[in-house]
Amino acid sequence: MHRKGIRVPAAHCGIVGLKSTFGLIPYTGCGSNEPTNDHVGPMTKTVSDNALLLQAIAGTDNIDDRGFAAPKPQNLPDYVQAVRDLASQRPLAGKKIRIITESLSTPATDPRVVQTFRKAAARFEALGAIVSEVSIPIHLKGAAIWTCVSKTGGFLNKTSGAFGRRGYQMVDLNNKFQPMRQENWDNAYSATKNIYFNGLYAVQNFPTLLAKATNLSRKLRDAYDAALEDFDVLITPTLPYVATSHAAPDASPIEQISKQIGLTSNTAPFNQTGHPVLAMPIGMLEVLEGPGMEAKVKLPVSMQVIGKWWDEVTVYQVAGAWECANDWKTM
């Protein structure tokens, strides 16, 4: 539900995943990594289905303080109708869509993904949108800012528990890691071990890192907000490459993590800034490694549509118009 739990699996599987505006969907009962970058959201087959599910689950529940600014469920915009009301001809007439230039050169990016993304982005023009690029240099540092908060804060959250917040604390879940016995450690997922290793190291050697990264998160958000003042949405590739094969069952944590190098370069920044981001499939590419290589197996490529805080309506309209006009499985 947080970090890699919505857009990454959606992108890998060729479905639609929405990381909603921070706090729009209640977090109550969800396992937390780090309170400022936890996110929940719907994963569905189509954009219209996604809007329908968001309509059902969004709105403050008056329990978790991260959702206190969200509307009550009965006061939400009509996300479903916003998609249904799109015009049949040039449904995005006048919409300004900007590609984040830096998102096309993140670490480990497959040039084929960039090519597929550019072709998909160009198709917005036939829908009436104005498509161009915008440079947001801090985007390249976004994943690093998120990492400092996610790993350090995630470690503290799992060891000392969240404090100073209103909400439902999942004590039983955190207790499964305390004390950290060998059995618990052996059964933990490699990404969880990564949080402990990195978080403990940061706490011991860089005690002010979390505070500095938290401040930089505001600078990162301000940069996206400044771009969104002039544009309706921003777009990027969701992931830099198609899904990789699994590591061997006896692989070390480093070997497992190496399968994901650079994976969240375009997704992690928006976890930390809280903007609504929808991942949607836009094409297929052959795998470059693993058991499907000889058979020339193709896997999905995905695009992110990023909107202003609380503006899921525009995100859905842009994504829905593209989806209705294109068959991504043939692209």
Are the C-beta atoms of residues 90 and 128 closer than 8 Å to each other? Answer: yes
What pLDDT, on a 0 to 100 scale, did the predictor assign at position 286?
97
Tell me the H-state helices in 87-189: 111-122, 139-159, 171-175, 182-187
Are the C-beta atoms of residues 15 and 43 closer than 8 Å to each other? Answer: yes
What pLDDT, on a 0 to 100 scale, did the predictor assign at position 179?
67
What the chain holds in terms of domains, given with CATH numbers, is: 7-330 (3.90.1300.10)
Lowest mean pLDDT among 20-29, 51-60, 187-196: 187-196
Share of the chain above pLDDT 90, in %: 74
Bridge partners, residue 132, by sequence: 98
What pLDDT, on a 0 to 100 scale, did the predictor assign at position 4?
53
What pLDDT, on a 0 to 100 scale, did the predictor assign at position 186?
78
What pLDDT, on a 0 to 100 scale, did the predictor assign at position 214?
94
Lowest mean pLDDT among 1-10, 235-244, 322-331: 1-10
Q: What is the pLDDT of residues 158-172, one digit of tens each?
A: 787 666 777 776 677
Phi-psi group of 65: left, alpha or beta (phi > 0 → left; psi -120 to 50 → alpha; rest → beta): alpha
- Cα 45 to its chain centre, rounded Å, is 17
Bridge partners, residue 44, by sequence: 16
Q: Supply 180's token pair.
A: 């950290």
Name the residue with higher pLDDT: 164 or 26. Answer: 26
Residue 189 has pLDDT above 80, yes or no: no
What pLDDT, on a 0 to 100 scale, did the predictor assign at position 3?
44
Helix axes 312-325, 47-57, angle to 10 degrees: 160
Residue 191 has pLDDT above 80, yes or no: no
Bridge partners, residue 170, by sequence: none
Are the C-beta atoms of residues 234 and 315 closer than 8 Å to each other? Answer: no
Question: What is the residue type of 73?
Answer: P
Q: How confident is the model at residue 32 (pLDDT cuts 50, 70, 90)?
A: confident
- Whole-model pTM: value is 0.92
- Alpha-carbon span 266 to 262, nearest angstrom: 9
Distances (CA, A) of 224 to 210, 238, 275, 306: 21, 16, 9, 9
Q: Supply 164's token pair.
A: 């100073």
The whole-number average pLDDT for the span 7-30 is 96
Q: Supply 215's token pair.
A: 């401040």
DSSP single-letter state for residue 160: T
- Alpha-carbon span 58 to 51, nearest angstrom: 10
Distances (CA, A) of 163 to 127, 147, 256, 271: 48, 21, 32, 21
The Cβ-side half-sphere exposure at 46, using a 13 Å CA radius, reads 14
Name the residue with higher pLDDT: 32 or 66. Answer: 66
